[in-house]
Each structure stands twice: as structure tokens, then as C-alpha cells.
């Protein structure tokens, strides 16, 4: 065995190990970590994030929102390699996908019903379905605190 084959073998083993680690982690856990980091300024119930991710997975929510396996794989890989010191291409697309999850999570909770009060604990109500829930406009002046 030559040194070159040994190094190539080690690199191949590292790629297989990292790739396997990325694919083994359930996507719901990745979304939960994204929500906890993006909404760290809010008081979130752990059960709220877990219930939201479980409901998303069980209801076929990804298919309804056309969030296919390619997008899920991109989010997994980017989340795994995310580093503030070394910029990775695709940051804008990753942020857009994260915003997708954060928006749907906040609409599925009582955050807007509590007039966006960050001091209150955010609890999960139900998965946001615009055709099943009553009309609520989170950008209405009724939700903003009095100035």
C-alpha cells in the first residue's frame, strides 16, 4: 500500500462518515435546532418545538409546501457545516428556508395572539393551516403594543 492510496482511503472514509452522520440525523431534529437558535430571544416551551416538528412530519407538510428532499438535504448539510467564521456559499438560500420554518412556527403558536409579547412563554396551538384556522393577520395594528 502506498502513501497516496492510504490518504485517499482516509479521505473516502471521512466523506462516508460525515455523509452518514448528516443523513442519519432526523430532519425534525434539525428543524428543532434551527427554531431554537433563531428564536433564542423568546421563551419557548420544549414541547412546543417538538410538537410542531412532529406535526410537520406526520401531516405531509413538506409536500404541501413543496419542500422536497433536495431542499431538506441542503438544510441538513448547511446546518451541519454552518460556521460564522468561514462563510459557505448558499447562505441566502439557507436563511430563506430557515425563515420558512420560523414563520410557520410562529403562526402555529400563540405569539401573535399575545400581541408579540416576548416576555410570555410561547406555546404551540396547532399546525398553521390558513384554510382551517380563523383569519388572523399578524401585521394588524391590533397585535402591536400601545405606544
Specify the pLDDT at position 1: 74
How many percent of the chain have pLDDT more than 70?
A: 84
Per-residue pLDDT, averaged over 77-86, amounts to 79
pLDDT, one tens digit per residue, over 94-121 is 889 999 889 889 988 888 888 788 888 9
What's the average model confidence in pLDDT over 128-141?
69
Can you read off the three cell numbers belonging to residue 13? Answer: 472514509
pLDDT tens digits, 13-47: 777 676 666 666 788 888 899 999 999 999 988 89
> What backbone torsions phi and psi does residue 121 show, to the nearest 5 degrees?
-75, 130
Q: How far is it, in rounded angstroms, from Cα 74 to Cα 14?
A: 19
Nearest to 123, CA basis, from 143, 106, 140, 144: 106
Arithmetic mean of pLDDT, 48-59: 89
> For residue 23, what pLDDT is reported?
66
Cell of 10: 482516509
What would the mean pLDDT of 48-52 be, rounded to a whole number?
A: 91
Domain limits of the chain?
A: 26-122
Q: What percent of the chain has pLDDT over 90?
A: 13
Amino acid at each position: 500500500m502506498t502513501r497516496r492510496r492510504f490518504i485517499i482511503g482516509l479521505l473516502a472514509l471521512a466523506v462516508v462518515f460525515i455523509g452518514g452522520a448528516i443523513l442519519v440525523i432526523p430532519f425534525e431534529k434539525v428543524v428543532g435546532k434551527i427554531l431554537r437558535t433563531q428564536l433564542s430571544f423568546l421563551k419557548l416551551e420544549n414541547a412546543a418545538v417538538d410538537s410542531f416538528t412532529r406535526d410537520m412530519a406526520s401531516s405531509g407538510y413538506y409536500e404541501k409546501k413543496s419542500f422536497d428532499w433536495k431542499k431538506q438535504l441542503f438544510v441538513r448539510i448547511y446546518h451541519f457545516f454552518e460556521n460564522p467564521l468561514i462563510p459557505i456559499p448558499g447562505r441566502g438560500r439557507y436563511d430563506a428556508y430557515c425563515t420558512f420554518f420560523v414563520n410557520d412556527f410562529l403562526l402555529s403558536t400563540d405569539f401573535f395572539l399575545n400581541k408579540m409579547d416576548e416576555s410570555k412563554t410561547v406555546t404551540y396551538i396547532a399546525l398553521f393551516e390558513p384554510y382551517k384556522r380563523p383569519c388572523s393577520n399578524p401585521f394588524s395594528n391590533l397585535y402591536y403594543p400601545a405606544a
